[in-house]
Structure 1
Amino acid sequence: MKKFLGLIGMLLLVVTLGACSKTNSSTNTKESSQATTSKVSGVNKDTLAVVIPSADHGWLAGVAYYAQKECKALGLKSYKVITSDNVNDQASQIDELISQKVGAVVLEPHTSELSVAARKIVKAKIPLIIFDRKVKADYNGFVAGSNTDIGKTTADFLGDKLQGKGTIATLSVPSSGSVSSERLAGFKAEMKAKYPDIKLVSMTADSFTQEAGLKTAKDMLTANKHVDAIFSIDDESSLGILQAINEAKRTDVKYLSGVGGSQSYFKKIKNNKSDITLFTATYSPTMIQEAIKEAKQVMDGKSVKKENIIPTTIVTKDNVNKFLNAKSPY
């Protein structure tokens, strides 16, 4: 009898522990769905999965931040912001999301190599919104800015300010691929069409860092005794270029652009007291919010635009306050 009662006690203990384990697991899943993670666990048919590259650049850190912000703002009960360091890891994450039948995916692919993985999502009949970089798949919607429009809009701003005359230095970052080439192509095409008397000189950097901007600007300023403006194709590069101008004590440079949506550069624009007009053209990480809104709409059975290209906005001292966000990492 004692042995029988002992056996019953042990069984009750196992059942109790099992129930506690299940409860804790559920709690942890709910908590982890609110944090940026590289893991795919804890998702289901009601989960909106945001799949993005890891933050190796300030802009991508901003994407992760605004993704979290929008998911919370929409009141999503289950969501996951999932990061990866490379193409293979991202493809594996997508396979896991498909096997767990998530409700929708917002995907910023590392490269176009993710087209195969994206087509798997579509084949599984999971709603797919592509963000920033295109893939070859029949996605529900694509959300991005326009690099070509950034070049065109900046060219119009500078061409008008310089009244169609002067010298502009243009930054190129070949390692960034189409980002650099498209922004420059849009800029040069508009200059040629509308402001043919403006002379363009080139400067080339190996990355979009402040240090690279500083180095290439020093070389360019040494080689050119007079430059009226600089078309920098990235905000972080612009910070380095501005440092080079100040260190060289150049007074000829009257305009310095940026591109992106960097809070550091926004602050420079706001607090600028020099004779240089600082401005930037938006290609903001906040665009991920629009992609997440579209994913939620598709999950709710609504249709969205196949192509949603966010217009470029020129940010100057006059409107910069609208773009400042002290909590943003970029």
Structure 2
Amino acid sequence: MRKVLSLLVLFALFMVLGACGGATEPKEKVDEAEKDSVAKKHKIGILAPAVTHGWVAAVAYHAEARAKELADEIDYQVQTSTNAEEMTSQLDDLMTWGAESIVAFPQWEGMEVPIQTALDAGIEVVNFDIEIDAEGVYRVSGDNEDMGIQGANYIVDKIGKEGNVVVLEVPSSGSVSELRKKGFVETMEKIAPDMNLLTYATKFTREDGLKDFADILTSNDKIDAVFSMDDETSIGVLQAISEAGRTDIQVVTGGGGMQEYFQMMPENEDIWIQSALYSPAMVKDAVDVAFKLLNDEEAEEVTVIPTTVVDRDNHEEFLDDKSPY
């Protein structure tokens, strides 16, 4: 009987120890699952220009905001640069870090080769805004050419089919300026072939808009409208007009969707102030395309965000006190 009891006790102990030993197995499995979960996080790099004006600052802001929203599923790095050489170096750093996809805003010429190198290495690249010659690159942008088309239609609607129109191009911005100018000039040739177009180079800053347009006003006695491609530039243009006391200019266009510029629209009844909405928030779509590609989901090779015209008649619909731009 004692032997039987002893055997029963030993058997019970064996079962208890077995149960205790088995309890560690699920924990190990959980730890392994957690490691796998971390390991499966995709790496997305974001390359943006350093702040040159508010629109560019808002691009980096919105890109990082979207990356933060995806932080449970991705690791990300945001790098900003002041020229093509620095962006190329940062691209190399992201490749070394192990980026599987890169969202790039290559605002300068000379980024074709480094981006092609990344693509050839198997990295998905989604360009924001800028169109460059690289095989396999995806792109998300506003409709730059349509911004020019809308600008031409707007000016003709306000001043008629004849007059002097200053075209402010920005050669340093690459395809952005090229496409906006193309849309404007080609449309103007169709709908108002007698319009006199005066082309000058400037930059996407209010300081350059002020300085350059002050010189333009000095050399041109009669200007009916200004095709400016950017809200910041346009603010400088409007300041130059005000300081010169000129009353001949009836229209100033813009582009970008700047809140300060929107608020100026109803303040000046003598000038139609227009903006072709080109929101920096659309960079979130570029981050989403990068994320889709890493998850083997389908994505459009080119995503174009439609143009919306804003002026004093509808500007209140676009006011947003939370906007960083």
| 1:110 Cα deviation after fit | 4.6
Q: Offset of 1:301 from its aligned partner? A: 1.8
* Aligned amino acid, residue 151 of structure 2: T
Report what 2:103 is aligned to: 106
Moved more, 162-171 or 54-63: 162-171
Does residue 48 of structure 2 align to residue 55 of structure 1? no
- The corresponding residue for 1:296 is 291
Is 1:82 the equivalent of 2:91?
A: no
1:272–1:278 Cα contact (<8 Å) kept: no
Q: Where does residue 130 of structure 2 map in the other structure?
A: 133
2:316 paired with 1:314:
no
Amino acid at match of 1:237: T
Matched ranges for 1:62-211 at <5 A: 62-74=58-70, 76-77=72-73, 78-139=75-136, 141-202=138-199, 204-211=200-207
Q: Per-residue deviation at 1:154?
A: 0.6
Give ranges in structure 1 of 5+ residues lacking alignment: 1-42
Q: Encode CA deviations 1:50-85: one digit per residue, 9 max, x unaligned.
A: 122222333221111111222234565432222223
- 285-294 or 124-133: bigger deviation: 124-133
The answer as to 2:274 corresponding to 1:279 is: yes
Based on CA coordinates, which of the two structures has the bigger radius of gyration?
A: 2
- Does the 8 Å CA contact 2:83/2:108 hold for their aligned counterparts? no
Across the two proteins, how many residue pairs are aligned to each other? Answer: 287
Q: Give the residue type in structure 2 aligned to 1:260.
A: G
Compute the displacement of 1:112 (Å): 4.9
- 2:234 aligned partner, one-letter code: S
> Any gaps of 5 or more consecutive residues in structure 2?
1-38
CA contact (8 A) 1:112 1:136 kept: no
Distance 1:92 1:245, change over 3 A: closer
Pairwise CA distance, 1:194: 0.9
In the TM superposition, what is the alpha-carbon distance from 1:232 to its structure 2 partner? 1.4
Identity %: 39
Selected match of 1:235 from 207, 228, 231: 231
Return closer, same or farther for 1:252/1:295 CA change in 2, 3 Å cut-off. same
Superimposed CA distance per residue, residues 102-124 of structure 1 (whole angstroms, 9 cap, x where no aligned partner) = 34221222545333332343334
TM-score, length of structure 1 as denominator length: 0.76
Deviates most, 182-191 or 233-242: 182-191
Change (3 A) 1:73 1:314: farther
User: Helix, strand or coil for the counterpart of 2:290?
Assistant: helix
What letter matches 2:312 in structure 1?
K
Give, in angstroms, the shift of residue 209 of structure 1: 2.6
C-alpha RMSD of matched pairs (Å) = 2.8
Cα separation, partners in 2 of 1:288 and 1:190, compared to 1, 3 Å = same
Equivalent position amino acid for 2:261 in 1: Y
